[in-house]
């Protein structure tokens, strides 16, 4: 009788996960040895042992083509380092984690209004999406309102999206349709 062998399937590495890993560790080393090219654990990537080595190398190549990492050849192997553009991209991934700070209403309304040119339409549309994710309500095409203190999140958002001068804040004690807004925000 033959032995029963358990086969464990390896996973494909994504460029996003690879970028996050490089950002967290600042750089990683891919050794030039033959054994190292087949076994990623020798590259000092303990979290990546379950991934196909070729998929990790392909993810690194994809990130390099996009300008998010740079590869530096050394006598020990290839060092993959994150670029400034790569750091900015990881900050964009963190934007998805932003949430509205639900707390007791202090009687003040926060307005976020912006004027972003048509040439930066992607940034403008992203800003709208993230403001909605923060729980803000649209008052007009480029004016959002919230009863919660969201200035820190929006400050972070406008810096990451690279629109610091196009986005402004206001804090108001009264707004014309505040009874409707109180119903919307259930305060």
φ and ψ at residue 181, rounded to 5 degrees: -65, -35
Among 83, 107, 123, the domain-final residue is 83
Do 138 and 113 reside in the same domain of the chain? yes
Do 78 and 155 reside in the same domain of the chain? no
pTM, two decimal places = 0.64
> Is residue 7 included in any domain, yes or no?
no
**pLDDT in the model for residue 52:** 72
State the CATH number of the domain containing residue 53. Answer: 1.10.10
Among 83, 114, 138, the domain-final residue is 83
**pLDDT in the model for residue 30:** 65
| Average pLDDT of adjacent 10-residue blocks, the chain of 187 residues | 55 77 72 52 53 77 90 80 86 77 88 94 93 92 94 90 92 93 91
The sheet with strand 69-73 has its strands ordered as 27-31, 77-82, 69-73
Q: Please give the residue range of the domain that contains residue 49.
A: 15-83
């Amino acid at each position: 009788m033959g032995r029963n062998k358990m086969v464990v399937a390896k996973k494909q590495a994504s460029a996003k996960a690879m970028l996050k890993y490089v950002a967290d560790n600042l750089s990683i080393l891919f050794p030039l040895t033959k054994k190292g090219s087949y076994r990623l654990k020798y590259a000092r990537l303990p979290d990546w042992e379950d991934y196909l080595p070729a998929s990790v190398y392909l993810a690194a190549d994809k990130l390099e083509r996009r300008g998010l990492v740079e590869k530096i050849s050394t006598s020990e192997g290839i060092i993959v380092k994150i670029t400034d553009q790569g750091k900015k991209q990881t900050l964009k991934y963190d934007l998805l984690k932003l949430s509205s700070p639900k707390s007791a209403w202090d009687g003040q309304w926060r307005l976020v209004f912006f004027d972003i040119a048509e040439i930066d339409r992607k940034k403008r549309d992203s800003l709208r999406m993230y403001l909605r994710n923060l729980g803000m309500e649209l008052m007009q095409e480029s004016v959002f309102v919230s009863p919660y203190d969201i200035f820190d999140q929006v400050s972070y958002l406008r810096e990451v999206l690279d629109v610091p001068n196009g986005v402004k804040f206001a804090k108001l004690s009264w707004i014309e349709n505040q009874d409707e807004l109180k119903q919307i925000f259930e305060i």
